[in-house]
Amino acid sequence: MKGDLTADGSPALLISKVRAMRTVLRSLGKRSYLNGPFDHLISSAKAGRRPAAITYDAFISYSPTKDRGIATALQSVVQKLGKPWYRRRALRLFRDDASLSATPRLWPSIEQALSRSRFLILLASPEASISPWVDKELTWWLDNKTSETLLIGLTQGELWWDGPTGDFRWSETTPLPLVLRKRFVAEPRWIDLRIYRESSIPVGPEFMALAADFAAAIHGTPKEDVLSEEVRQQRRAKRRAWFAIATLIAFLGLAGWQYSVAIMQRHRAENILAIATKTADDLVFNLAESLKATNVPVKITKEILDRARNLQDQLSAAGERSPELRRSEGTALGEVSKTLLNIGESGAALTAAQRERKIALEILASDPKDANAQFEASASDTNMGDVLREQGRRSEALVAYRDALELCKTLIQEGQDTGPAIGTGQWPQYLSQIYVLIGIVQQKQGQLDDAFAAFNQSLAIRKALVQKYPENAAARHGLALSIEYIGGVFVAQGRLQEALASYREAFETLKIGAQREPDNPVYPYSLAANEQTTASILEAQGRLDEALASNKDSLSIYKELAQKDPGNAKRQDRLAATYNAVARTQIEKGRLHEALASYNDGLAIIKALVQKDSSNAQWQSILAASHNGIGSVLENQGRLDEALASYFPAQK
């Protein structure tokens, strides 16, 4: 009620007090720190209502069509930047990951989140400019708050500010919703995130620096202050990493000492140098492989690998290397390239891949008929293609993949598949994988017919392999994946019935593999994923009973996997996410009571995971989806207080 706003029942008095406080803070240089809360209080007072408590520091508004990866990464980084060690997060951001177009009843929860947020971060893109949900969120924000608390991150398109008109230059391609026209009192600062749109998971120090711009604006503090805590954390991590380097140096120093002794015994020198060099190559390979699974900061990981490679180079320069040692160096470089690509250092990964390829081609030139040299050269081309694809250089990636394809075809034509060491079809299996990589790039480029042809080439090879080697598990599993890739093209073309047939055929292939290898965990995962994709196709066709059955079959598989290994976090989070998928289909069927039970089952699982690691963005996303789903069901049942508690759970 209006009378509750101030002691004397006057909203105007509250407004005047808030404005006076803001004037004082501005004079003290604290202008931006409380803009959000003050604007929130003033807008609430003008509307004659009690101001809602601030729950979120920022609300992320975006189109999930192509910006889900950026939104997820931005939320994760901004929340943790500058975080003291004793807190779970420095900021709390709201990002809705549910399918709003499918459940419009979620708008009340979105409106509640907007009202409880200090800032709004808009990820501007052509998709966002025409999104009705983004438009609705921005309209609410501008009607109830101010444009001064609106931050912009550009993910695609171009923005130009026109000084004389005091507005952006508007055209059909402007990546902003029209509701923002003439709504800014001065040129707003926007952050360019466009280079990260093609990355599956934006990472790296450059992305962190851009995210720090948002965090600094929300904190109301200089950007360097926000990053200071990150710097201290990296220093601690660096000390640990340097300890690992010191151990490596000591080991290689011992090898160097052995080599020095061997100088006095020349008849043993070459042998000892070869052993020391091979040891260095193996260490670099193992170090690169182990760093993939750690949380060592990107800068430190790269520094460790650079230092290890420098030591490897020093030993390499100490004497002429045999083809075998050159081969081990190339193998280590390939693993380094994969690790660097995994941590987002695609430039350094490309350098390592190029060095690997140079070594492989030199070895191949010395003996063009060497099957192993041909395979290694082809594999180096594949590594090059993977890096180029991650960098968005798809045309160059296609060239690299096709070079790998030609080398592999040569191996097949020369009958290398008949050798005793490759008696289960290694070369054709590898050839089929190259066709898959080519098809993935072509599908990304919108060349659906070409992608369809590439996937069919892969399919034909894998069918022949399964026929020739029925006990080859990799070949059978690859056959199922090729069928699913073809189904994915059908989905992109809107040919849902053919897509459904492909996924069901793949399911039968996977089922045969699972029966023959009941202890192989790859089959249950693939079967569960297949069932979920099948369910989504059936939902799109309106066949809800069948969709629910497929989702429940997927749930049964994940339940069995989780029971076999309760400590496996991957199995637990898949189980929780599948409970949510079942619940969403139950809602579509109008079975709210069952949906509530499914959501609660999933919530219990994901809560336990988040308690172990609150920084895991994927788990936080599943947790938010569970809370929102429960809130939606309770709201539809008329249990509004319980719904509100679920939309905004208490933070511990």
DSSP state of 294: S
Instruction: Give pLDDT, residue 612.
Output: 84
Q: What is the rounded distance in angstroms from the CA atom of residue 572 to the CA atom of residue 561?
A: 9
Q: What is the rounded distance in angstroms from the CA atom of residue 455 to the CA atom of residue 459?
A: 6
Helix, strand, coil percentages, rounded to 5, for the chain: 70, 5, 25
Long-range contacts at 618-626 (CB < 8 A, ≥ 24 apart)? 618/72, 618/573, 619/573, 620/76, 621/72, 621/95, 621/97, 622/573, 622/576, 622/577, 622/580, 624/95, 624/96, 624/97, 625/97, 625/98, 625/577, 625/580, 626/576, 626/579, 626/580, 626/599, 626/602
Are 226 and 77 in contact, with CB atoms under 8 Å apart?
Answer: no
Q: The dihedral of CA 453, 457, 463, 466: what is its sign?
A: negative
Are 81 and 115 in contact, with CB atoms under 8 Å apart?
Answer: no
Asked if pLDDT for residue 368 goes beyond 50, the answer is yes
**CA-to-CA dists, residue 529 to 33, 248, 523, 589, angstroms:** 46, 42, 10, 22
Q: What is the rounded distance in angstroms from the CA atom of residue 608 to the CA atom of residue 568?
A: 12
Instruction: Give pLDDT, residue 366.
Output: 82
**pTM greater than 0.85:** no
pLDDT tens digits for 122-159? 999 999 999 888 999 999 999 999 888 999 999 999 99
Quote the tokens at residue 424.
């289960």
Q: How many CB atoms lie within 10 A of CB 537?
A: 22
C-alpha 461: how far from chain center: 31
Quote the tokens at residue 408.
């592999």
Instruction: Give pLDDT, residue 296.
Output: 46
Residue bearing the bigger pLDDT, 342 or 499: 499
CA-closest candidate to residue 330, choices 346, 297, 303, 352: 352
Are 499 and 512 in contact, with CB atoms under 8 Å apart?
Answer: no
* pLDDT band for position 245 (cuts 50, 70, 90): low
Are 315 and 280 in contact, with CB atoms under 8 Å apart?
Answer: yes
Q: What is the rounded distance in angstroms from the CA atom of residue 550 to the CA atom of residue 527?
A: 11
Torsion of CA 81, 139, 12, 219, to 10 degrees: 10
Q: What is the rounded distance in angstroms from the CA atom of residue 399 to the CA atom of residue 390?
A: 14
Quote the tokens at residue 554.
């997927």
Q: How many CB atoms lie within 10 A of CB 367?
A: 12
* pLDDT band for position 234 (cuts 50, 70, 90): low
Q: What is the rounded distance in angstroms from the CA atom of residue 244 to the CA atom of residue 285?
A: 15
* pLDDT band for position 84 (cuts 50, 70, 90): low
Total residues found in the chain within this entry: 652
CA-closest candidate to residue 139, choices 186, 85, 180: 180
Name every residue whose Cβ is closer than 8 Å to that of residue 507 and which is 6 or more positions away in sequence. 480, 527, 530, 531, 534
CA-closest candidate to residue 96, choices 84, 79, 83, 110: 110
What 3-state DSSP class applies to 16?
A: helix
Rounded percentage of the chain residues whose pLDDT exceeds 70: 69
What single string gives the DSSP state of each residue in 104-119? GGGHHHHHHHHHTEEE
Instruction: Give pLDDT, residue 322.
Output: 61
Rounded percentage of the chain residues whose pLDDT exceeds 90: 24
* pLDDT band for position 426 (cuts 50, 70, 90): low
Q: Is 25 left (phi over 0), alpha (psi -120 to 50) or beta?
A: alpha
Q: What is the rounded distance in angstroms from the CA atom of residue 578 to the CA atom of residue 559?
A: 10
Asked if pLDDT for residue 81 goes beyond 60, the answer is yes
In this structure, of 197-211, 346-360, 550-564, the range with the lowest mean pLDDT score is 197-211
Asked if pLDDT for residue 634 goes beyond 60, the answer is yes
Could you state, in order of their start, the residue ranges of all structural domains in the chain? 1-49, 52-201, 222-393, 521-652
pLDDT tens digits for 450-461? 999 999 999 998
The topology under which CATH files domain 521-652 is: 1.25.40
In this structure, of 36-40, 96-100, 213-217, 316-320, the range with the lowest mean pLDDT score is 36-40
Q: What is the rounded distance in angstroms from the CA atom of residue 533 to the CA atom of residue 527?
A: 10
Q: What is the rounded distance in angstroms from the CA atom of residue 531 to the CA atom of residue 330?
A: 41
DSSP state of 606: H
Bridge partners (DSSP) listed for residue 124:
154
Q: What is the CATH number of domain 52-201?
A: 3.40.50.10140
pLDDT tens digits for 516-571? 888 777 888 889 889 988 998 998 899 999 999 999 999 998 898 888 878 778 78
Same fold, 52-201 and 521-652: no
Q: Sort 24 into a burial class: Cβ within 10 Å, 0-12 / 13-18 / 19+.
A: exposed
Residue bearing the bigger pLDDT, 346 or 358: 358
Asked if pLDDT for residue 298 goes beyond 50, the answer is no
